Amino acid sequence: MQNRARILLYESFDRELNDSEHKELEQNLVVNDELRREQQDLQKLREKIKNAKTPSFNPFFVEQTMDKLFSSVTQSRAFNWFDSLFSSFWRVGVAAAAACLILVVLNLKNVSINQNTQQVSTNNESLEEMFEQVSLQMVEDEL
């Protein structure tokens, strides 16, 4: 009961009590010295807090804020420019990288085909040489 009265006391400072709550609190305050003392303490406390005016920011606060604000806006704009550049061209970049990769693979294939052809052509030459040698020998034999 006393606990409820205390809750009502605290809440009476921060919200509108309804009629029955108000009456209940008043009755408790009449009969309960401790509760009355607590009410006075609370009033004093809240007054002290209210009067403890917090100091203001430094005198150049407005100028400093404006400077900081517009330097940060400029920075973020520069950052956004790079950002939008990146977002516009990343697909192009990926496509270019893929194209480079395909070209490299194709080139490597061509190189290996060329090497094979060269090898075959080297073998052909040696056959021709052999044929030439055989035919020369036949001519020599006939003579």
- Interface contacts to other proteins, rule CB under 8 A: 7, 10-11, 13-15, 41-42, 44-46, 48-58, 61-62, 64-66, 68-70, 72-73
Of 34 and 129, which has the nearer Cβ to other proteins? Answer: 34
Of 72 and 123, which has the nearer Cβ to other proteins? Answer: 72
Strand ranges, E, within the chain: none
Are the C-beta atoms of 46 and 10 separated by less than 8 Å?
A: no
* Local structure of residue 54 (DSSP, 8 states): P
Alpha-carbon 6 to chain mean position: 50
Of 58 and 88, which has the nearer Cβ to other proteins? Answer: 58
Are the C-beta atoms of 34 and 6 separated by less than 8 Å?
A: no
CB of 53 to other proteins, least distance (A): 7
